[in-house]
Structure 1
Amino acid sequence: MGEWETYVVRRAGRLVGAARGRLEGDTWEIGRIMVAPDLRGQGTGRRLLEHVEAVAPPAATSYVLFTGAASTRNLRFYKRAGYRLRPDLDGPPGAVVLSKRRRAPAAG
């Protein structure tokens, strides 16, 4: 099992968001994207997701994450970010797995 890289967002010392990622083969697993409840809807989660995707090692060809099957807000958020449901992949009980191909870097 790979080691998790953890990223946090603080405002005035307060922990207001966090996300983590780890490389498993050629897949960058993203986990535990969290935003303080009173700050949701302000773009913190989107910026965390963008950041954890951006710091994926060059070997990563795709991203994968899971969320609660009944978490309609989370599902909508991830789908807007380009993730698609993966019924062929097993997640924890009560969860669904989503994935997204990593874009190839732009030619310089």
Structure 2
Amino acid sequence: MRKSECFYWQRSTQVSYTRIVKGEKITDDRFPPLNIALDSSNAFLFLRDKLFEMTGQRIWGVIFALFPDGRFDIEYDYSKPTSYEESDELISAEEINQSLQKLMPGSDAK
């Protein structure tokens, strides 16, 4: 069995690849070539957007499993990650740098 697990962010995805060979689970030991990985990510984003357009529900994750006999299984995750903050607000590099400076021990930045 081969399995792709995808987590969605605003305009990108985080994809994990797993193979099960003779009962052994192997995760992220090899990745597909970049062009295939980009196509995979674009397909997951397309699926997320189309499902939202059709149902009004946003998916936050997908698990796609492909079995040796050609069967497949798709599971959708509708739970928004607790660490995810949705915002269209852009933060400048200077603002990020100032914020990080405050975290440094001994920093005088306020």
Pairwise same-fold verdict (TM > 0.5): no
The higher relative CO (CA closer than 8 Å, separation ≥ 6) is in: 2
Q: Relative to total residues, which structure has the larger strand share, 1 or 2?
A: 1
TM-score of the two chains, using structure 1 as the length reference? 0.28
Larger radius of gyration: 2
Q: Relative to total residues, which structure has the larger helix share, 1 or 2?
A: 2
